[in-house]
Amino acid sequence: MSDTVTIASHFEDAEQQREAGLMGMWLFLATELMLFAGLFGAFGIYRGLHGEAFAEAARHLDLPLASINTAILLTSGLTMALAERSVQAGLIVVARRWIVATVALGAVFLVIKGYEWHHEFAEGLMPLLGLPFDYDGSHPAQAELFFDFYFAMTGLHALHMLVGLGALAVLWVLGRPQPGPRADRYIRQMRITGMYWAFVDVVWVFVFTSLYLLRS
Amino acid sequence: MSEPETHYLNDGWTLRSWLLTTDHKRIAWMYFATITAFFFIGGLAALLVRLELLTPAGDMVDSDTYNKLFSAHGIVMVWFFLVPSIPATMGNFLLPLMLGARDLAFPKLNLLSWYIFTLGGLFTMTAVIAGGVDTGWTFYTPYSTLFSNSAVVLAASGVFVVGFSSILTGLNFIVTTHKMRAPGLTWMRLPLFCWANYATSLIMVLATPVLSMALLLIVLERALGIGIFDPELGGDPLLFQHLFWFYSHPAVYIMILPGMGVVSEIITCFARRPIFGYTGMVISIMAIALFGFIVWGHHMFVAGQSLYAGILFSFFTFLVAVPSAIKTLNWTATLYGGRIRFTAPMIYALSFLGLFTIGGLTGVILASLAVDIHLHDTYFVTAHFHYIMVGGMVTAYLGGLHFWWPKITGKLYSGPWSIVAALALFIGFNLTFFPQFLLGFLGMPRRYHAYPEEFQLLHVMSTLGAGVLAVGYLLPMVYFGWSLWRGKPAGDNPWDATGLEWRTTSPPPKHNFVDTPTVTGRPYDYV
């Protein structure tokens, strides 16, 4: 056992341990991808069936705000990548600052998202929990279906963001005492969290495209 | 022969040493205890169903209760017994041993899977106690979303939660198989049990999340009023069936592939011959897993699906029969010229061979579009899938348990009694389910608790068979219990079998092997 790497007792060496961790995360992301694929598949079918109604409903969403949010989330992907690079270069203090930046950007994203939801609630476009659905377009029933998807997709994405923010917070805390011999482990944890965060980013790109950009 | 002084079972006696263990062998035991409990709960529901069907009149329970009984039977048996059965118990115990590894790649995640499984079980059991679910195990919309007044949210949440447990188990198995193999253990030297669990794990990781999403949408529809399957909004209830079967048809292969793995190990050992056509077996395992993803529409032939989709799904379903037949023929060819020993595990494996063949061939009948219109939703379908899931998987599960029991516990069990149990299972099973083929062919639909009088004889036979079958299930509990208490030490390799798991002591030490074993040749080195 080398003195800079902690290896769990069932692994032969550090390389095996590292590869196992990464492969596990890739598989987990494959599972996540299939989870969202079910939802996006259903959305795609309905988009085909009720194209006009869905496009009209999409025009009721706040595109400028969502575009700003997209920019914010993609930037958080950059700060996360910088955090990873810093920790690989042994700069734990810098890495922790990038984590703070990532968490801050993620939090701003959620606040803006929450504002959007509240706006839709105030407009009567939230067909949940028996709330009245007050829609002024020409296909109110199918528009309700669209908004069902809107809340399911953005809600599920926000839930994944929360999990990611939690993981980042844990990473920030773990980095506090100078890790020393645990550095290798910290790099692995950072890499795995980074993969998850990138996945959440990518899912948002699809959510944004399907819900906001298909307007005509 | 004597037991080793220290092994995984006597490494700590406290409850804590079990509940917080990360040893895959102990986690396997925890799964074993949990799924056995679920098996008997699901079995009790089946028994009540069979008792009701003794007489043509629906006199023992009312129709609502009957609906809840068969739903409970299906939900518990599929998700809380069959899906985890072989992977979570024997797979958990044996996969690292067969790979020459000290544990699974993620031991803590393995423990977490068990807790998630138990949590999901508690949800579903609460649903059963809180008044039951009457949707059947398939939760079809719009009935489950708009009409059913039963505890659908709780039950579906339970199945949703338990899905994560099988995803995590599958993930763990895949990474372990890729990264933890002993020196010299190349892919084409893996025992077929490992291949079968690997293929199963792929299905678990890729199909389960789609079911999770479908169930989540049902829960959201009932709890929040989201109407994705609501026809009034332009939603399509049939979409649920597509999402559901996208998982649940591959899940049928989750419920048979591990059994095929077990049977391959048993047949080679007790025929004393290497498996016939190892490469073909590996390819057909992977082919079954792959084809499993493109046949889901055969559950929907009469659901208003387009005829062209029906033709394609029918064609692909016929195609699955090819790798299945390759496997069956290869097992038979392995027996040819072998020195066969009729031990209990071998009788289970041979029962599997016969019952799986009947189940598979009737599957081909059901895959034919025109015939399915007559047979759809009749007892013919019920009999068909019970031949696969019970005749196949449960038989293989018991066969595997009898095969590896000496390794798992270090003890022997009663030879004669185990043979009696294996025969009771074979006779009881056929008596229960063969009449159901006839019932279905004559037009008796599934899920009814009252029926015309001319069907009574066949139903009585079926119920009697269920009684014999129950003996076949209860007997092993008795002699396995006795074996734990008073069984003779088994020694490291009582069957004289090949495979890395037999090279370590029985029961194995905590870290499986004293020295990491090396592999130099193909598996099944019998002469």
Interface check for B178 against chain A (CB to CB < 8 A): the answer is yes
**pLDDT at residue A4 greater than cutoff 80:** no
Would you place residue A188 in the very low, low, confident or very high pLDDT band (cuts 50, 70, 90)? confident
Q: Which positions in chain A touch B239 (Cβ < 8 Å)?
A: 42, 45
B-chain CB neighbours of A44 within 8 Å are none
The better pLDDT of the pair B115, A13 is held by: B115
Please state the rounded mean pLDDT for residues A183-189: 83
pLDDT by 10s per residue, chain B, length 527: 567 778 898 888 888 889 999 999 999 999 999 999 999 999 999 999 999 999 999 889 998 899 999 999 999 999 999 999 999 999 999 999 999 999 999 999 999 999 999 999 999 989 888 888 888 888 888 888 878 878 888 899 999 999 999 999 999 999 999 999 999 999 999 999 999 999 999 999 999 999 999 899 889 888 888 888 888 887 888 888 988 998 889 988 999 999 999 999 999 999 999 999 999 999 999 999 999 999 999 999 888 888 899 999 999 999 999 999 999 999 999 999 899 999 999 999 999 999 999 999 999 999 999 999 999 999 999 999 999 999 999 999 999 999 999 999 999 999 999 999 999 999 999 999 999 999 999 999 999 999 999 999 999 999 999 999 999 999 999 999 999 999 999 999 999 999 999 999 989 999 999 888 999 888 998 87
User: Whole-structure pTM over 0.90, yes or no?
Assistant: yes
- In A, minimum Cα distance to B223 occurs at A129
Name the H helices within B292-394. 307-335, 344-367, 369-375, 379-386
Residue A35 and residue B243: Cβ atoms within 8 Å? no
Q: What pLDDT was estimated at residue A180? A: 62
Query: Inter-chain contact A148–B208, Cβ cutoff 8 Å?
Result: no
Is B518 inside any structural domain? no
Residue A141 has its nearest CB partner, among B175, B212, B233, at: B233
- Partners of residue B378 on adjacent β-strands: B445
Give the range of the structural domain holding residue B99, as residue numbers without chain letter. 15-503
Give which of B347, B329, B234 is closest to B277, Cα–Cα.
Answer: B329
The whole-angstrom distance between A196's CA and the closest CA on chain B is: 16
**CATH number of the domain bearing residue B97:** 1.20.210.10
**Token digits for B23?**
């040893």
Angle at the Cα of B403 (from B78 to B287), degrees rounded to 5? 55
Nearest CA in chain B to A49: B234
| Band of residue A2 on the pLDDT scale cut at 50, 70, 90 | very low
Domain ranges of chain A: 14-213
> What 3-state DSSP class applies to B411?
strand
Mutate which of B97, B175, B221 to disrupt the A interface (most A C-beta within 10 Å)?
A: B175
* Candidates A28, A38, A152; nearest CB to B171: A28
**Residue B217 touches chain A, beta carbons under 8 Å:** yes
* pLDDT at position B1: 53
Structural tokens at position B69? 């009984």
List the single best residue of A148, A149, A150, A153 to mutate versus B (max B Cβ within 10 A): A148
Residues of B with Cβ-Cβ distance to A28 under 8 angstroms: 171
Q: For residue B40, with 0-12 CB atoms within 10 Å meaning exposed, 13-18 middle and 19 or more buried, which class applies?
A: middle
- Whether A148 sits inside 8 A of B226 (CB atoms) is yes
Nearest to B430 by CA among B351, B494, B314: B351
For residue B523 the two structure tokens come to: 């598996």
The helix/strand/coil state of B23 is coil
Residue B9: inside a domain: no
A contacts of B104 (beta carbons < 8 Å) = 10
Q: Are B273 and B526 in contact (CB under 8 A)?
A: yes
DSSP assignments along A98-125, one per residue: HHHHHHHHHHHHHHHHHHHHHHHHHHT-
C-alpha separations of B142 from A139, B66, B139, B237, B452 in Å: 22, 20, 9, 6, 29
pLDDT band, residue A182 (cuts 50/70/90): low
Question: Is A10–B243 a contact, with Cβ atoms under 8 angstroms apart?
Answer: no
d(CA B396, CA B331): 14
- Dist CA A57 CA A160 (whole Å): 25
CA separation, residue B287 to residues B24, B190, B281, B332 (Å) = 29, 17, 10, 20
Regarding the domain delimited by A14-213, which CATH topology (the fold level of the hierarchy) does it fall under? Four Helix Bundle (Hemerythrin (Met), subunit A) (1.20.120)
Nearest alpha-carbon partner for B527 in B272, B265, B276: B272
Q: Could you tell me the two tokens for B502? A: 């037999």
Q: B210 to chain A, minimum CA–CA distance in Å?
A: 5
Three-state DSSP at B135 gives coil
Residues of A in contact with B105 (CB under 8 A): 10, 20, 24
pLDDT-derived band at A1 (thresholds 50, 70, 90) equals: very low
Which of B24, B201, B213 to mutate: most A Cβ within 10 Å? Answer: B213
Find chain B residues with C-beta within 8 A of A145's C-beta.
227-228, 230, 233-235
Structural domains of chain B, count: 1
Is there a domain that residue B158 lies in? yes
Query: Does B180 lie at the interface with A, CB-CB under 8 angstroms?
Result: yes
**DSSP label at B444?**
P
CB contact under 8 A, B210 and A35: yes
Residue identified by tokens 């077990």 is B262
pLDDT digits (tens, 9 = 90+) for A86-141: 988 888 888 899 999 999 999 999 999 999 999 888 888 888 887 888 788 788 88
Q: Which two tokens stand for residue B184?
A: 């010299």
| A6, A184 contact by CB (below 8 A) | yes
Cβ–Cβ < 8 Å for B84, B77: no
Nearest to B179 among A23, A34, A36 (CB): A23
In this structure, is residue B519 part of a structural domain?
no
What angle in degrees, to the nearest 10, is found between the helix axes of A140-174 and A14-49? 170
Q: How far apart are CA B462 and CA B469, in angstroms?
A: 10
- Out of B171, B225, B235, name the one closest to residue A129 (CB): B225
Strand partners, B411: B489
Tell whether B238 lies on the interface with A, counting CB pairs under 8 A: no
Tens-place pLDDT, residues B174-184? 999 999 999 99
Chain A interface, Cβ < 8 Å to B = 8-10, 12, 16, 19-20, 23-24, 27-28, 30-32, 34-39, 41-42, 45-46, 49-50, 53, 127-130, 141-142, 144-145, 148-149, 151-152
Distance from CA of B179 to the nearest CA of A (A): 6
Rounded distance between C-alpha atoms, residue A60 and residue A124, angstroms = 11
